[in-house]
Chains A and B, each alone.
Chain A
Amino acid sequence: QVQLVQSGAEVKEPGSSVKVSCKASGGTFSTYVFSWVRQAPGQGLEWMGGIIPVFGAANYAQKFQGRVTVSADESTSTAYMEMSSLRSEDTAVYYCARNWNDEAFHFWGQGTLVTVSS
Chain B
Amino acid sequence: EIVMTQSPATLSVSPGERATLSCRASQSVSSNLAWYQQKPGQAPRLLISGASTRATDIPARFSGSGSGTEFTLTISSLQSEDFAVYYCQQYTKWPFTFGPGTKVDLK
**Which residue numbers of A lie inside 8 Å of B, CB to CB?**
35, 37, 44-47, 50, 59-62, 95, 102-106, 108-111
Complexed CA–CA distance, A39 and B39 (Å): 13
Contact A106–B1 (Cβ < 8 Å)? no
Complexed CA–CA distance, A61 and B45 (Å): 22
Which single member of B1, B38, B46, B100 contacts A104 (CB below 8 Å)? B46
| A60 neighbours in B (Cβ, 8 Å) | 95
Main secondary structure of the interface of B (DSSP, over half): loop
**Which residue numbers of B lie inside 8 Å of A, CB to CB?**
1, 32, 34, 36, 38, 43-46, 49-50, 55-56, 87, 89, 91, 94-101
Contact B43–A50 (Cβ < 8 Å)? no
Contact A50–B96 (Cβ < 8 Å)? yes
Contact A45–B32 (Cβ < 8 Å)? no
Contact B97–A47 (Cβ < 8 Å)? yes
Complexed CA–CA distance, A31 and B34 (Å): 21
Between-chain CB contacts (< 8 Å), 21 pairs? A37-B98, A44-B87, A44-B101, A45-B36, A45-B87, A47-B95, A50-B94, A61-B95, A62-B1, A102-B32, A102-B91, A103-B91, A104-B46, A104-B89, A104-B91, A105-B34, A105-B36, A106-B49, A106-B55, A106-B56, A108-B45
Complexed CA–CA distance, A59 and B97 (Å): 13
Complexed CA–CA distance, A50 and B96 (Å): 9
Most chain B beta carbons < 10 A, residue from A44, A104, A106, A110: A104
What's the nearest-Cβ distance from chain A to residue B97, in Å?
Answer: 6
Complexed CA–CA distance, A50 and B32 (Å): 17
Contact B43–A104 (Cβ < 8 Å)? no
| A47 neighbours in B (Cβ, 8 Å) | 89, 95-98
The 10 lowest CB-CB distance pairs between A and B, nearest first, are A104-B49, A104-B34, A103-B91, A108-B43, A61-B95, A45-B98, A59-B94, A47-B96, A44-B101, A44-B100
Complexed CA–CA distance, A61 and B3 (Å): 13
Contact A103–B32 (Cβ < 8 Å)? yes
What's the nearest-Cβ distance from chain B to residue A65, in Å?
Answer: 10
What's the nearest-Cβ distance from chain B to residue A110, in Å?
Answer: 6
Complexed CA–CA distance, A109 and B87 (Å): 17
